[in-house]
């Protein structure tokens, strides 16, 4: 089965880090976000993927190269105008030379979904569309999907108010779409699959099936969820076969580790550094002597000079943090510069 992945989103809730880099390339524990989806496809033997992107979107060659490292054949469908989720799927499907159902991913989740089970259920139920669902504690921020006892989808409730929360099953952003479902999407128009296409199919009496996923799933769409995904991966909550390979540096004995750490390729960490809680150190970053990092993510090529202290912060690619600086609950965008003895977020 061929796959379409939607990667054209602006990633506004992950700014400032998506101002210079597509969301799908943001490093989650030193691995590009999209590589976790590529690993999932590879596990289930899927070899062809079409990436629905914006026209002029940067780093497409890099994204394609990552796909090839997973033995995937990668093509791009480029939108000159915004087409919405369904419109992007429709355009990308035009590149397929097959009448088989199509697997679709939203491009911002990490999960261990059993794709074989999803595809089999779609076939057994002769579904027009199958929607993968997951259960969450706070469903109000997501689109709810209401099913009957046989697993048939009865309704979709996007961004529900308190009185509309009648279930904790939400749309997980993974679909299997039949050719009939694709045919119902108008070409060249901005159409939402969640708000328009699926409700339209229901109104036409089509068979929409929900497949509940009970394993790991997270929508990496905000800094809060980015941080949670980083902790989860460091804790081993995602199976090792779905964590892409990446070269990491071993920490010297004179580095004090009081938690769980990922140090990217060619990261240099000087003696006396203390790493507490969950810490991600990006590739080619430098930590000077006697720095303290706690519950913090450094993107690649960050320089932290001696005796700096950083807690509960995100530091963007190519930033420089001066000596004796104190940061807490800070978000420093790519290329930030903080001079020696700076203090942000606390005194």
- Residue 160 above 90 pLDDT? no
Cα–Cα distance for residue pair 80/23, rounded to 1 Å: 19
- pLDDT score, position 134: 93
Q: Quick one: 260 and 337 in the same domain?
A: yes
27: left (phi over 0), alpha (psi -120 to 50) or beta: beta
Cα–Cα distance for residue pair 9/19, rounded to 1 Å: 12
Task: Output the six-digit token pair for 48.
Answer: 């062809």
Q: Quick one: 209 and 323 in the same domain?
A: no
Which CATH number fits the domain that encloses residue 299? 2.160.10.10
Cα–Cα distance for residue pair 1/48, rounded to 1 Å: 8
- pLDDT score, position 346: 61
Residue 251 forms part of a structural domain = no
Q: Sign of the CA dihedral 222, 227, 232, 236?
A: positive
- pLDDT score, position 171: 87
pTM, to two decimals: 0.92
pLDDT tens digit sequence for 327-338: 999 999 999 999
Average pLDDT estimate for 40-61: 89
Mean pLDDT for the chain overall: 91
Average pLDDT estimate for 291-314: 96
User: CB–CB of 333/223 below 8 Å?
Assistant: no
Q: Pick from 211, 242, 273: which residue ends a domain?
A: 242
347: pLDDT confidence band, cut at 50, 70 and 90?
Answer: low
Percent of the chain, pLDDT > 70?
99
Average pLDDT estimate for 105-110: 92
Q: Quick one: 224 and 314 in the same domain?
A: no
pLDDT tens digit sequence for 220-249: 989 999 999 999 999 999 999 999 988 888
Q: Of 237, 209, 242, whose CA–CA distance to 132 is shortest?
A: 209
Catalytic residues, which ones?
159
């Amino acid at each position: 089965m061929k796959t379409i992945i939607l990667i054209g989103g602006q990633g506004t809730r992950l700014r400032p880090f998506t101002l210079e880099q597509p969301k799908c390339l943001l490093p989650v524990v030193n691995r590009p976000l999209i590589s976790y989806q590529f690993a999932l496809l590879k596990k289930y033997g899927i070899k062809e993927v079409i990436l629905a992107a914006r026209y002029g979107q940067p780093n497409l060659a890099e994204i394609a190269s990552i796909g090839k490292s997973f033995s995937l054949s990668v093509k791009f469908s480029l939108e000159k105008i915004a087409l919405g989720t369904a419109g992007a799927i429709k355009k990308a499907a035009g590149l397929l030379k097959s009448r088989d159902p199509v697997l679709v991913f939203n491009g911002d989740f990490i999960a261990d979904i059993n794709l074989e089970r999803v595809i089999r259920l779609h076939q057994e139920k002769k579904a027009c569309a199958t929607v993968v669902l997951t259960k969450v504690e706070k469903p109000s921020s997501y689109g709810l999907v209401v099913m009957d006892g046989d697993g048939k989808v009865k309704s979709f409730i996007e961004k529900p108010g308190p009185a509309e929360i009648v279930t904790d099953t939400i749309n997980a952003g993974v679909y299997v779409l039949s050719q009939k479902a694709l045919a119902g999407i108008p070409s060249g128009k901005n159409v939402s699959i969640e708000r328009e296409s699926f409700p339209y199919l229901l109104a036409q009496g089509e068979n929409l099936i929900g497949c509940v996923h009970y394993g790991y799933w997270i929508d990496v769409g905000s800094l809060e969820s980015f941080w949670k995904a980083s902790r989860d991966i460091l804790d081993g909550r995602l199976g090792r076969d779905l964590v892409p390979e990446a070269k990491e540096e071993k920490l010297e004995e004179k580095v004090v580790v009081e938690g769980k750490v990922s140090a990217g390729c060619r990261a240099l960490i000087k003696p006396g550094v203390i790493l507490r809680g969950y810490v991600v150190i990006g590739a080619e970053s430098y930590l000077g002597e006697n720095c303290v990092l706690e519950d913090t993510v450094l993107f690649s090529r960050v320089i932290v000079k001696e005796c700096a202290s950083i807690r509960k912060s995100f530091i963007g690619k190519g930033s420089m943090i001066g000596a004796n600086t104190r940061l807490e609950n800070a978000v420093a965008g790519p290329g930030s510069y903080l001079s020696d003895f700076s203090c942000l977020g606390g005194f």
